[in-house]
Every structure is written in C-alpha cells, then in structure tokens.
Copies of this chain bind each other. A is one copy, B any other.
Amino acid sequence: MNVEKMAFEAKDASRVLAKASTPLKNKALKEMAKALRKRAGKILRANGLELAAVRRTSRSAAFVERMTLTGERVENIARALEQVAKLPDPVGGTTDFAKRPNGLTIRKMRVPLGVVAIIYESRPGVTADAAGLCLKSGNAAILRGGKETVRTNHVIAEALREGLRKAGLPAGSVGFVNDPDRAAVRRLLRLDALIDLVIPRGGPELTTAVRRESMIPVLAHDKGLCHTYVDEKADLAMAVAIALNAKAERPGVCNAMETLLVHEKIAQRFLPAAAKRFAAAGVELRGCPKTRKILPGVKAAAKSDWDTEYLALILAVKVVASLDAALAHIARHGSGLAEAIVTTDANRAARFLREADAGAVYVNASTRFTDGGEFGLGAEMGISTQKLHARGPVGLVGLTCEKYVVNGDGQVRCST
C-alpha cells in the first residue's frame, strides 16, 4: 500500500478512535498483546533471518543488539501493551476556561492529535510500543522502522492489526510502511493535510533529516548534552554521588551527564574526591586548564569536547567562576534535555531552576531520572528536546491537545 493511501485510511480510522471508549481501546490493546504472543515464533523467525543478513554487514554489535528479539523480549513487548491498557485515558476531560460577559461558556477539552507518524531505527520493540501509546491516546499511527528489521516489523504490525480487528476497531488505525525506500518517507513527510505529528525516534541525523523534509509538525528528541553544576555551596559527598551516577550508571543514554561544571571555590576539595571515584568507575576525564591544575594527570579538553555527546565513559570537566558562568555555559552548549545543580543554597537553586533552559531541571538529583517511567508517566513515547507542545518525557498526554469548546444560546457577534 502506498503511503498516501495509508494516510487516508489512518485519517478515517482516527475519527473512529477519537470517539472510542476507554474499555474498547483497552480491549484492543489486550488483543494486540494476545496476537503478538500467538505469532512469537513467526516474529523470531523473521528476526533471525534479518539478524543473519545484518551480521554479514559492518553494522556494530550495539546495532545488532538493539535489533535482536528473543522469546523473553517478545513477551515483554506484549506485557508493555497490557500495561498501557492499565494507564488512565488522557482523552475527553474538560477544564473551565472562561465565562464571557455575553454569556458564552468556554472550556478546553483534551482530544487526540489525530494521525501520528513515527519514524524510527531498527528497534522492533518500538513498533508495538508506539502503536500502543497512539491507540490509548486515541490517535491513529503510521509506523516506519529501519529497513534492517522491515520483515520483523511487518509480522508485528500484522499482529497489532489483528488485535484491532478483534476489538472491532479499524485495522487502518495502525499503518506500517513496508517500502524500504527513503522516497516513501519523503512522500510521507509532505502529507500535512492528513498527518498531524511526526515523531523521529533515533539519533540527531534522523531528527535533522526529518526536520528538513517535513511539512508536518515534528516532535523531536535530538540529543542529550546534559550538565551537572556543582555549586560552591554543594554538599560534597552528595555532589560526588550525583555526578558519578549521572555519568557512569548508564553512560550510553541521552539523560547521562556529558559535562561537569564545578564552582572554583569548591573545585580544590571536590575534584580530587570525584576523580578517585570516576577513575574507579573507568571514566576518562577531559579537563579545562583550571581542572588540570588541580588534577594534573587529566587530559586537556578540546573546544569540541564541550559540544560532544560522548554516550560513553568520558566526561568533560570545567571549573567556572560563578553560577552565572555555569548558566552561560549551559545556555551555549546544552541540548535542552536535562540540567542539574548540586547546592544547599535555596536562592541559587531557585535561580538555576528558573534560568537553566531544559525540558527537566534538577536540584540535588541525577539527570538520569529524566524518563517517563521515573516521572510516573507509565510509558514514554520519547523525550522532547524542543520547546513547542511538549518538553521532557512525553507520555500519553503529550500525544493529545486541547481544543476550545464553546456553549452559547444564540450569541452572534456585533459589528465593531
């Protein structure tokens, strides 16, 4: 099916989903889980063939790992759909907005966005996750995964569509783009009359390509260049623990710290203590000149280090003269995902929370908490690094919008 036809079907389906009841959507999610379990063997066979093909290429081990399914992983994917069924329905609630002098009553009503396209890399788990979140929030989904897993995804999408049909919802609620040609994506990104939102899930290259080509509004997660600022008034032990966690607990993810900023008045005490712990965790440090005066063994940071998302056990370290200097550095180099301050000074904490510009800003905690699960959203479509519509972890509410609903009793507008 070509992408235009798929988008028309999705648009029609979205009208049905928008008015579907919560129990009906939940039934579909459970049927989808069932259909996935039923097809587990077929999914694993398709995945096995695709893994064999990729192993003959120069793709990295991490890439292969991300696209690999096992029986346990398929079961987890099915369970995740059942979890989404348990989450509260974000759609339909209204809030009062205004009662106007002419008697009009204005409220806001939360409604689905309509049709959401998700463009992602070769991670077959995303196929079911994204479809489940869209369905629960009343949106139709159009899915386009990486070409290496197109057969695996195809089988998964078949299962999802069977689940929809069993619940009596249109199969067009979940469209899957089989066409591995990039031209199909380019055509998809022009369909702004049919598709309401496109979410690229992947690295900065994917996001940039989608932003460049899309006529449809984009919800982008581009990169995570997170800072932790250890203030002059920090609790030393807490600062060391937070910095270590932010860098080393899971360095390959977007909410890990990439640059550590240290106030010059605490650097002399903090840096040697932290360096010891970083060394023990296998973290390579790259320091500014002031850092290297205190820690002479540390390699010099190049200018590019301040803009590098290492996603590895490497950390750039800079000594700064003030909170203002730290905020200026963050404004220039941060990616808007998460920023943290460690301090016991309430005024500095408040300034940092207000002025550091990111989806999530922290006082005395690790940036690693920037995650839908940790925020209590129950599930996560991604982490937005843009400011429009949704910032930070995006859950079900992030896939909805509010419209104005106005009740009158015959009001007409007078000429002015």
Chain B, residue nearest A92 (CB): B354
Chain B CB within 8 A of A380 CB: no
The contact string, 1 if C-beta is below 8 Å from chain B, for chain A 101-135, is 00010100101011000000000000000000000
Q: How far is the CB of A411 from chain B (nearest CB, A)?
A: 4
A406 to B370: give the CA distance in the assembly, Å.
10
Q: How far is the CB of A228 from chain B (nearest CB, A)?
A: 11
Q: How far is the CB of A213 from chain B (nearest CB, A)?
A: 9
A400 to B219: give the CA distance in the assembly, Å.
16
A342 to B380: give the CA distance in the assembly, Å.
40
Chain B CB within 8 A of A322 CB: no
Q: Is the CB of B355 within 8 A of A388?
A: no
Chain B, residue nearest A364 (CB): B408
Q: How far is the CB of A186 from chain B (nearest CB, A)?
A: 12
Chain B, residue nearest A217 (CB): B388
Chain B CB within 8 A of A85 CB: no
List of B residues within 8 angstroms of A327 by Cβ: 15
Q: How far is the CB of A196 from chain B (nearest CB, A)?
A: 5
Q: Which of B113, B246, B376 contacts A388 (CB 8 A)?
A: B113
List of B residues within 8 angstroms of A196 by Cβ: 386-388
The contact string, 1 if C-beta is below 8 Å from chain B, for chain A 197-233, is 1000000000010011001011100000000000000
Q: Is the CB of B363 within 8 A of A406?
A: yes
Chain B CB within 8 A of A4 CB: no
The contact string, 1 if C-beta is below 8 Å from chain B, for chain A 302-341, is 0000000000000000000000000100010000000000
Chain B CB within 8 A of A5 CB: no
Query: How many of chain A's residues touch chain B, expressed as a range?
Result: 35 or more
Chain B CB within 8 A of A238 CB: yes
Chain B CB within 8 A of A192 CB: yes
Chain B CB within 8 A of A359 CB: yes
Which of A18, A410, A413 has the most CB atoms of chain B within a 10 A radius of its CB?
Answer: A413
Q: Which of B104, B235, B413 contacts A249 (CB 8 A)?
A: B413
Chain B CB within 8 A of A361 CB: yes
List of B residues within 8 angstroms of A401 by Cβ: 387-389, 391
Q: Is the CB of B357 within 8 A of A406?
A: no
A405 to B413: give the CA distance in the assembly, Å.
42
Q: Is the CB of A19 within 8 A of B354?
A: yes
List of B residues within 8 angstroms of A403 by Cβ: 357-361, 391-392
Chain A stretch 1-30: residues in CB contact (< 8 A) with chain B: 11, 15, 18-19
Chain B CB within 8 A of A176 CB: no
Chain B CB within 8 A of A250 CB: yes
Q: How far is the CB of A322 from chain B (nearest CB, A)?
A: 15
Q: Known contacts being A238-B410, A391-B404, is A106 close to B249, with CB within 8 Å?
A: no
The contact string, 1 if C-beta is below 8 Å from chain B, for chain A 378-395, is 000000001111011100
Q: How far is the CB of A351 from chain B (nearest CB, A)?
A: 8
Q: Is the CB of B241 within 8 A of A413?
A: no
List of B residues within 8 angstroms of A81 by Cβ: none
Q: How far is the CB of A230 from chain B (nearest CB, A)?
A: 13
The 9 closest A-B CB pairs, nearest first, are A365-B408, A245-B412, A368-B413, A217-B388, A389-B389, A360-B404, A238-B410, A365-B411, A388-B389
- In the complex, besides A113-B388, A392-B404, 20 extra interface pairs with C-beta distance below 8 angstroms are A15-B355, A18-B355, A18-B357, A19-B351, A19-B355, A100-B376, A104-B369, A109-B353, A113-B387, A192-B211, A197-B387, A217-B217, A217-B387, A238-B409, A349-B407, A357-B403, A359-B403, A360-B404, A369-B406, A388-B389
A–B pairs, 29, beta carbons within 8 Å:
A11-B331, A15-B327, A18-B354, A19-B351, A98-B376, A100-B374, A106-B376, A111-B357, A113-B387, A196-B387, A217-B217, A217-B388, A235-B410, A238-B410, A241-B410, A242-B410, A250-B415, A359-B403, A359-B404, A360-B404, A360-B406, A361-B403, A363-B406, A364-B407, A364-B411, A366-B411, A375-B404, A391-B403, A392-B403
